[in-house]
Copies of this chain bind each other. A is one copy, B any other.
Amino acid sequence: MTLTLDAIDRHILRVLQRGGRISNVELAREVGLSPSPCLRRVRLLEEAGIIDRYVAVLDPTKVGAGLTVFARVCFRTQDAEVTLRFAEAVRRFPEVMECYLTTGECDAVLRIVTADLHSYWRFQADHLTRIPSVLSVKTDVPMETLKRSYELPLR
């Protein structure tokens, strides 16, 4: 399995990051190949796990998920048991899109999606702060979106 991506591979990835449902015929034309080798490359990228999956991107404001909030959480203690239980709880909440453990001032950062500010406060009060591991939550509330991208930068 070749894990070194050449220029054509990166071109394929760039195109597929912009439009995941492009037909293989058109993709091949864009990257300058005929359909057969193009499809083979895509399959290899999929099998290597470089292409993880294809998804439909919904308009958050139109499906009642218009507010994105970044929350910083401090735990009561930092032991493995507390962390594990926090992870399990977080994975059950569909509102939590991303969650990372951090070092420094806080123990975890989350990207949380809800309909609006009211829904967020309810989620924080009813669910997030009720996870036993959680000591405190700090948030910065977004007022306006300056940028939202779905393309990872390809060096």
Contact B63 A57 (CB under 8 A): no
A113 CB contacts on chain B under 8 angstroms: 152-153
Contact of A62 among B49, B87, B143 (CB under 8 A): B49
Considering the chains assembled together, what is the distance between the CA atoms of A48 and B114 in angstroms? 21
Contact A58 B51 (CB under 8 A): yes
Contact A100 B145 (CB under 8 A): yes
Q: How far, in Å, is A120 (CB) from chain B's closest CB?
A: 12
Closest to A111 in B: B111
- List chain A positions with a Cβ less than 8 A from chain B: 3, 5, 13, 16-21, 48-60, 62-65, 68, 70, 72, 86-87, 90-91, 94-106, 108-109, 111, 113-115, 140-155
